[in-house]
Structure 1
């Protein structure tokens, strides 16, 4: 019995010292990491729908204080759609965009160098769904010729996905009408009122409408495999990107922004829905916490695990852009300039 007590005591001491060492490393590591001062401590991030799972890693870093712990004073400004948030950076009212990766390529066509520096989503998380109210006899995507298709905003990633789904069904982009309906309550209202016959949206809107039996899902890019099959490779989604000049002038600031987002990704990958909801503000739940949990579980697999951009992602995004604007099919994109993993 004495030997058993001694062994238990030894194990306890070993566990204690291991835990102490881990705690010490967790305390010391940030001190080394923060040795260099950020060039710009106050940063404004523009986003097109902060409460969407699409932007959850960035939003969570804000809500949970990860940006502050990195020594940054981050202000997140919310806009209706990714195109609007991009305009804010171009206009100089914001420093960084939390938006769709393909905008880094589309800006090359305007001779404006934008570069992504930390990935949030490995797949678009968008869902193409049919309105059960106006399309009761829906059998295939071809039935939507001449119909009204809702997207978060014209030219957005949701518009790209609509084009890809239609293309697979042999329907041309000029054979349906595109209507911007946003990504929140406006989208829900548009579907309920029958203003669109089908739409491409994100959660929690999708989970809410599906739960009410108002839509039928046709294509679901919350599933990475389904997304890869649709696009023919990795169609990466939400990321932080900024003008190349901002990255050049503020490398330590970008490094800290990226590190905060990666911390979010790692936390989100392991946490329970209940733990997440203790930090997410109630305004994100659309009045239904259980619905938010459901959406989180469905969207989590599409989030990046490490914030890194995979090989070939820029080429896939360029192909997606050409679906919206055929003139871009022959544009000489600089794929390497669209992203960097340097700061992750």
Structure 2
């Protein structure tokens, strides 16, 4: 594998106090169950809510965990992580369910959002080579001068694609990255020959695998393969919000974390039947067996407790520095990227 961009942590980055990030935000260390929820009605924006990437969010909603925590939550699906982020920044939502990487990108532009509960501890993105376009594919170097489909330029799928081709000592300019979205549009791009390879999520990649349409060459649905590609723990989907929201509404934030961690705990022991009964029928796409097969392949990627790994920010920064030049020069403060205070209290609550 080609070496990742060199990364030398700045003093500010790792002395900001990741473990005590909640203190830096002025969040009380102890919140009682009877404390008043400041924002009982709120909006969460998300991109592609039906994806496995945000399955914990859907489970918390479907099983009534938000309501049980005293919240009236409206979840608005904007179709992509970038669009959901814009909804948050424009004030159309209070909290965003999106990629942890967004918190770094925002801070490099002096916009401060803090992640407070993790949905996924692996990105779940998978690279598949089209056997229609490249029936004689043998190695990653065969992707030279080929078209690689990604969900959107700048998305995690795009970042993963640049790292995959780097393994063959290919530069990003040696291939063409084509935005094809997710779901049906991405499937059509493969089947029509619009792209020669695809970097996408489940259940699509499992469907393409089962039909013999792609050969998987990189897979971040497992922790081992994620570490191999990114060089360390790579926090993925999470709930994040502007710093002001966490500071002004700590009880609301705690209630959100409680609901999400409860959903994560449920997912750790849920049976296939439980999953099929709980997710909205459209998620199954009229193929229950496919949905369950995909779920089993990525189950390890789902966070068991909502805690963001302390070294995760360094991994994201190292992987993305060559992808987003502004990050390479940024002096990021870990304590403003994420806090585990809320998820840790929720975890203690549900372990009791």
What is the CA–CA distance in structure 1 between the aligned matches of 2:44 and 2:243, rounded to whole Å?
Answer: 15
What is the CA–CA distance in structure 1 between the aligned matches of 2:157 and 2:241, rounded to whole Å?
Answer: 21
Secondary structure of residue in 1 paired with 2:310: coil
Please report how far the alpha carbon of residue 335 of structure 1 lies from its aligned counterpart in structure 2 after TM superposition. 2.1
- Counterpart position of 2:297: 298
Contiguous gaps of at least 5 residues in structure 2: 1-30, 344-352
8 Å CA contact 1:222, 1:302 repeated in 2: yes
Please report how far the alpha carbon of residue 145 of structure 1 lies from its aligned counterpart in structure 2 after TM superposition. 1.6
- Counterpart position of 1:156: 155
8 Å CA contact 2:116, 2:240 repeated in 1: yes
**TM-score, normalised via structure 2 length:** 0.86
> Is it true that 1:211 corresponds to 2:233 in the alignment?
no
Please report how far the alpha carbon of residue 63 of structure 1 lies from its aligned counterpart in structure 2 after TM superposition. 1.4
What is the CA–CA distance in structure 2 between the aligned matches of 1:183 and 1:34, rounded to whole Å?
Answer: 40
Greater share of helix residues, 1 or 2? 1
8 Å CA contact 2:43, 2:76 repeated in 1: yes
What is the CA–CA distance in structure 1 between the aligned matches of 2:286 and 2:212, rounded to whole Å?
Answer: 18
Please report how far the alpha carbon of residue 327 of structure 1 lies from its aligned counterpart in structure 2 after TM superposition. 4.3
Give CA deviations for 1:81-111 in whole Å, capped at 9, x if unaligned. 2111101101111111111101000001211
CA RMSD of the aligned region, Å?
Answer: 1.3
Secondary structure of residue in 2 paired with 1:44: strand
What is the CA–CA distance in structure 2 between the aligned matches of 1:70 and 1:335, rounded to whole Å?
Answer: 28
What is the CA–CA distance in structure 1 between the aligned matches of 2:32 and 2:151, rounded to whole Å?
Answer: 39
- Counterpart position of 2:178: 179
What is the CA–CA distance in structure 1 between the aligned matches of 2:114 and 2:145, rounded to whole Å?
Answer: 37
- Counterpart position of 1:106: 105
1:221-236 alignment runs, 5 A limit: 221-236=220-235
8 Å CA contact 1:122, 1:236 repeated in 2: yes
Please report how far the alpha carbon of residue 117 of structure 1 lies from its aligned counterpart in structure 2 after TM superposition. 0.2
1:249-264 alignment runs, 5 A limit: 249-264=248-263
Bigger Rg, structure 1 or 2: 1
Secondary structure of residue in 2 paired with 1:227: helix
8 Å CA contact 1:129, 1:219 repeated in 2: yes
Secondary structure of residue in 2 paired with 1:174: helix
8 Å CA contact 2:108, 2:326 repeated in 1: no
